[in-house]
C-alpha cells in the first residue's frame, strides 16, 4: 500500500535531474539581506487612526504589518515643529531638523529676508513642466546624508527611487544619490527634475503617455462600509469643514474634460494614492527593482490623507474611510510585491511624516480648551510692545517656521541690547492665549539653559542660520488662525508626534507589538543594520528591536 500523498513524491535522483534541467523551480532561500526595502509613508496619519479602526481593517493590508510584523505602540517624532518636509527629511537620515537643516516646508532666509522652499533650487527645473521659483526640484537644502546615499556609496548597483504626490515627499527620502518623481498638477503626470536626469526613462514616458490620471474624471469616492460603521467618527458636512466634506465625492464633478482642476481634486480622495502606487509598480518593473543581489530602496509617500485631514479633520468620516481605502490599496500592493519580488525578498516599513491635531471646533465640542491663535495679531502686539520699550521701528519682521525673525539691521543701528529685546518678545507672546512656551535663540543654543517643557523638542527643530530668533510653542489644541486649513499639525504635542512605525519581512522581522517609546529617527539605523551598512553620518537614532 502506498503511503499518503505518494502520487506527489519524486525519487531523489529524478527530482535532482528536473531541477538541473529547469523543469521544476527550486524553492528560493531567503536572502541574507532584502533585495528590496519599501518605505511606505502615509502623509498625516496619526497612530490613533491605525489602532482606532483596526477592527475594520482587512486581513492583508495594514494587518499584515500589525499581526505578522513588528509594530511600535509608542513611536514619536522628537522635534517640535512637525511638518511634512521635516518629517520626510528625518525618516532615512535618522536625524532631526537641527542636523538636516530642513526646519519646515518653507522659511525666511534670515540674511536676505526672502522665502526659501525646503526643496527649492533655481538651478534645476521639472522635466517637461513649468517650474515656479519656489517649486521643489532638488535636495540642495538637505545637509544630512541619507540611507540611500550610504547604500549607493557601498554598491553603485543599488537603486533608490522615491515617489510622492508632493515634491518634498519624494525628494527628501531620495537623498542626494537617489531619484525622485513627483505628481504634477499641471498635467496629471509624474515627473523628475534636471537634478536627477536629462530626460525620463522609457518606462516613465510610457506610464505618462497612457494618461492614467484622466480615467478618474467623474470617479466616485464612496464609503466602503455601511453608515453605522462610522459611528465613532464625526458625521459629514460639519460647519467647520472645508467645501466638499461629504461622501460620496465625485472627482472633477463640474468638469467636462480632464485638466489641472481634476488633477488637483485627486489629492482629496483615494485616487492619487492609487495612482502613486501604480507608478510605483511601473518603477519596480521599469527599474527591475529587487531583481539582483544589490539591495534597492523604494520610497512611496502617499499624500491624500494629509489633504483630507487638513480639509475635514482626522476625526471625520472622510478621514476614517480613507484609512480603510488605503488598507485595500496596501493589500493589493503587497500581493503584487509578493509575486514580483517574492515574499522572502523584501522588507516593508510604514510610517508617517507627522500626526494631526483635532479641529479646534471638534475639541471645543468635547469640553477641551482649544482655539485659533492669530499670527498677525501676535506679531502686531510684539511690535507695539517693542516700540514702546525700545523706540519706534519695525523690530519684528515676521513669522517663519513658527519663530519670529527680528530686524537685525535695526538692532545694530540702534545698538539695542539684543537679549533684552528677545526677552520682551517672549514676554509678549506668552500673554497670548494660544502659546504655552517661547524660547530665545540664546536659550536654545546654550547647553546650560535649565531644562524646561518643550525645550528639547524645540532644540531638535532649530537650525542656526535658518531658524528665527524666538521660537514659539502653540498650546495644546490651538493652531494659527492664519492657516487656510480646517485643522493642521506642527506642534510637539502627542497628536502631532505620535505616528505609526510598522515593519514586515519574515526573514528580518519577528511579529509582535513593542511597547517601549521609540522615535522616527530610529528607522534609518534600523534599516542600515538590516542591510549591513553603516548608519547615515548625522543619524542620532538607534536600531529598533524588529528581529527575533
Q: Active site includes 449?
A: no
Distance CA(405)–CA(418), nearest Å, equals 12
Cite the DSSP H helix spans in 11-164. 12-21, 47-52, 62-68, 84-91, 97-100, 147-154
Rounded Cα gap, residues 60 and 70, in angstroms: 14
Among residues 25, 82, 84, 440, the one annotated as catalytic is: 84
According to DSSP H, which parts of 391-433 are helical?
Answer: 408-414, 418-429
Q: Computed over its alpha carbons, how large is the radius of gyration of the chain?
A: 25
Local structure of 410: helix, strand or coil? helix
Element (DSSP H or E) covering residue 514: strand 512-514
Cell 502520487 sits at which residue? 7
Per-residue cell: 201: 526613462
C-alpha to C-alpha distance for 436 and 370, rounded to whole angstroms: 12
Question: How would you classify residue 417: left for phi > 0, otherwise alpha for psi between -120 and 50, otherwise beta?
Answer: beta
- Straight-line distance from the first to the last Cα atom of the chain, in angstroms, rounded to the nearest whole number: 43
Q: Where are the alpha helices (DSSP H) in 304-392?
A: 304-312, 317-340, 360-365, 375-390
Query: Within the chain, what is the greatest distance between any pair of CA atoms?
Result: 106
Element (H, E) at 444: helix 441-445
Give kind and range of the element (H or E) at residue 440. strand 435-440
User: 3-class SS at 494?
Assistant: helix
- Residue 116 CA to chain centroid, in angstroms? 20
CA 491 to chain centre: 15
DSSP bridge partners of 473: 437
Question: How far apart are alpha carbons 125 and 123 in whole angstroms?
Answer: 7
C-alpha cell belonging to residue 197: 536626469
Distance CA 297, CA 159 (A): 6
151-174: b or e for each residue (b if 16 or more CB lie within 10 Å)?
A: bbeeeeebbbbbbbbbbbbbbbbb
Please name which of 266, 250, 255 lies closest in space to residue 212, comparing C-alpha atoms. Answer: 266
Q: How far apart are CA 333 and CA 356, in angstroms?
A: 26
Catalytic residues: 84
Amino acid at each position: 500500500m502506498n503511503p499518503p500523498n505518494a502520487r506527489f513524491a519524486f525519487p531523489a535522483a529524478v527530482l535532482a535531474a528536473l531541477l538541473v534541467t529547469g523543469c521544476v523551480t527550486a524553492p528560493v532561500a531567503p536572502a541574507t539581506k532584502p533585495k528590496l526595502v519599501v518605505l511606505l509613508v502615509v502623509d498625516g496619519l496619526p497612530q490613533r487612526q491605525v489602532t482606532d479602526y483596526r477592527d475594520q481593517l482587512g486581513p492583508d493590508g495594514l494587518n499584515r504589518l500589525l499581526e505578522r510584523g513588528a509594530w511600535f505602540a509608542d513611536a514619536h517624532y522628537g522635534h517640535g515643529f512637525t511638518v511634512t518636509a521635516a518629517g520626510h527629511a528625518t525618516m532615512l537620515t535618522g536625524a532631526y531638523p537641527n542636523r538636516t537643516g530642513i526646519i519646515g516646508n518653507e522659511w525666511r532666509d534670515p540674511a536676505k529676508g526672502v522665502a526659501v522652499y525646503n526643496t527649492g533650487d533655481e538651478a534645476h527645473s521639472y522635466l517637461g513642466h513649468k517650474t515656479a521659483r519656489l517649486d521643489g526640484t532638488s535636495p540642495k537644502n538637505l545637509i544630512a546624508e541619507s540611507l540611500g546615499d550610504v547604500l549607493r556609496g557601498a554598491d553603485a548597483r543599488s537603486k533608490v527611487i522615491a515617489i510622492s504626490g508632493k515634491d518634498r515627499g519624494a525628494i527628501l527620502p531620495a537623498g542626494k544619490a537617489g531619484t525622485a518623481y513627483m505628481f504634477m498638477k499641471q498635467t496629471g503626470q509624474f515627473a523628475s527634475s534636471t537634478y536627477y536626469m536629462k530626460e525620463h526613462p522609457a518606462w516613465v514616458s510610457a506610464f505618462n503617455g497612457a494618461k492614467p490620471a484622466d480615467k478618474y474624471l467623474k470617479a466616485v469616492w464612496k464609503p466602503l462600509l455601511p453608515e453605522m460603521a462610522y459611528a465613532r467618527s464625526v458625521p459629514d458636512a460639519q460647519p467647520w469643514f472645508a467645501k466638499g466634506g461629504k461622501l460620496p465625492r465625485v472627482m472633477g464633478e463640474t468638469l467636462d474634460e480632464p485638466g489641472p482642476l481634476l488633477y488637483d481634486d485627486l489629492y482629496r480622495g483615494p485616487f492619487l494614492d492609487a495612482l502613486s502606487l501604480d507608478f510605483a509598480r511601473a518603477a519596480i518593473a521599469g527599474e527591475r527593482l529587487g531583481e539582483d543581489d544589490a539591495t534597492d530602496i523604494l520610497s512611496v509617500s502617499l499624500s491624500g490623507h494629509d489633504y483630507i485631514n487638513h480639509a475635514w479633520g482626522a476625526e471625520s468620516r472622510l478621514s476614517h474611510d480613507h484609512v480603510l481605502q488605503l488598507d485595500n490599496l496596501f493589500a493589493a500592493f503587497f500581493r503584487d510585491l509578493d509575486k514580483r519580488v517574492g515574499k522572502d525578498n523584501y522588507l516593508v516599513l510604514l510610517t508617517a511624516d507627522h500626526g494631526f491635531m483635532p479641529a479646534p471646533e471638534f475639541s471645543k465640542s468635547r469640553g477641551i480648551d482649544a482655539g485659533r491663535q492669530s499670527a498677525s495679531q501676535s506679531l502686531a502686539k510684539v511690535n507695539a510692545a517693542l516700540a514702546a520699550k525700545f523706540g519706534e521701528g519695525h523690530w519684528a519682521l515676521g513669522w517663519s517656521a513658527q519663530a519670529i525673525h527680528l530686524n537685525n539691521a535695526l538692532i545694530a543701528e540702534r545698538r539695542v541690547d539684543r537679549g533684552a529685546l528677545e526677552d520682551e518678545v517672549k514676554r509678549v507672546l506668552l500673554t497670548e492665549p494660544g502659546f504655552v512656551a517661547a524660547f530665545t535663540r540664546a536659550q536654545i543654543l546654550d547647553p546650560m539653559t535649565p531644562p524646561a517643557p518643550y525645550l528639547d523638542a524645540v532644540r531638535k527643530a532649530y537650525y542656526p542660520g535658518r531658524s528665527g530668533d524666538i521660537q514659539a510653542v502653540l498650546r495644546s489644541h490651538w493652531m494659527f488662525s492664519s492657516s487656510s486649513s480646517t485643522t493642521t499639525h506642527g506642534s510637539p504635542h502627542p497628536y502631532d508626534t505620535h505616528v505609526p512605525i510598522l515593519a514586515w519581512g519574515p526573514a528580518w522581522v519577528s511579529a509582535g507589538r513593542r511597547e517601549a517609546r521609540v522615535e522616527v529617527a530610529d528607522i534609518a539605523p534600523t534599516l542600515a543594520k538590516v542591510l549591513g551598512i553603516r548608519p547615515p553620518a548625522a543619524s542620532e537614532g538607534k536600531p529598533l528591536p524588529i528581529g527575533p
